[in-house]
Amino acid sequence: MIEKTRKAAGPRAYEAVLASIEAELRTGRLNIGDRLPGERMLSEQHGISRASVRDAIRVLEVMGLVRTATGSGPTSGAVLISNPAAGLSSTLRLHVASRHLPVVDIVEARILMETWAASKAATELPIDEPALARAKELLSLMDDPDLDRESFHDLDSQFHVLLSTMGGNAVVSAMMESLRLSIMDYVRNSVTTDEQWRPVEKTLRAQHHDILDAVTARDGELAGRLLREHIEWFFTETGS
């Protein structure tokens, strides 16, 4: 990004702050949980305006690297946090909205990452009891016949992100989390009426239980296959 912006439009003043924070994170001089220096100190340190320092803090906030206090100026109480999924998610959503990331590619990418994670969780990793308990809880919430559609879509996408998190890879988890809202969008938009939705919902429920049963039974091959069939079934069935 920094490279590209530079090519397109000359270096931006705020980039000096980003580069310096990246370097200090790398050497360990800065760590997650640390408070950033104040606006005036950063401004003097990099020889840039306080407006440019505020730009940098905003950018770090959007990237999921900084949390700022409510109601105050952007640099008062800027604390380093680690929320990669949040930073990646907002960017991916906007690019999907611009249609340069086709839905069929999102479906293919999630099949790749989710089947890998579910198989790995079922075969290679120790049983993650809290994650399994949470997955069961999500399924029982989705079994409620009075649940509204929007809540179902939300719980459904949480269940899938949770499954991919069980693969134990922070990059894959961040990428799946970053696709979550885009996935919710295509699922929501592909079934228009409640009459269409009811039978679909019933099938999805049964498929979810079968997938989780396979993970619990430590059958990685079956878990991966059922997950692929589940995602492909919905996509073809609803012609989304």
User: Residue 111 or residue 211: which is nearer to its own copies going by CB?
Assistant: 111
User: Residue 90 or residue 216: which is nearer to its own copies going by CB?
Assistant: 90
User: Residue 63 or residue 132: which is nearer to its own copies going by CB?
Assistant: 63
3-state secondary structure of 1: coil
Burial of 36 (0-12, 13-18, 19+ CB in 10 A): buried
CA distance 85 to 161: 11
- Which of 166, 92, 87 lies closest to 128, judged by CA? 166
Shortest gap between Cβ of 12 and its own copies (angstroms)?
Answer: 8
Shortest gap between Cβ of 116 and its own copies (angstroms)?
Answer: 6
Shortest gap between Cβ of 5 and its own copies (angstroms)?
Answer: 7
Shortest gap between Cβ of 144 and its own copies (angstroms)?
Answer: 23
User: Residue 41 or residue 62: which is nearer to its own copies going by CB?
Assistant: 62
Amino acid at 44: E
The vertex-145 CA angle with 227 and 134, nearest 5°, equals: 50
Pairing type for strands 79-80 and 66-67 reads antiparallel
Q: From the CB of residue 85, how many other CB atoms can be counted at a distance below 10 Å?
A: 20
Shortest gap between Cβ of 176 and its own copies (angstroms)?
Answer: 11
Shortest gap between Cβ of 161 and its own copies (angstroms)?
Answer: 14
- The first and second tokens of residue 7, run together, are 């090519």
Cβ atoms of residues 125 and 105 within 8 Å: no
Where along the sequence are the contacts to its own copies (CB under 8 A)?
Answer: 1-5, 8-10, 12, 14, 18, 21-23, 25-26, 31-32, 55, 58-65, 67-71, 80, 82-84, 86-95, 97-102, 105-106, 108-109, 112-113, 116, 169-172, 174-175, 178-179
User: Residue 45 or residue 91: which is nearer to its own copies going by CB?
Assistant: 91
User: Residue 47 or residue 71: which is nearer to its own copies going by CB?
Assistant: 71
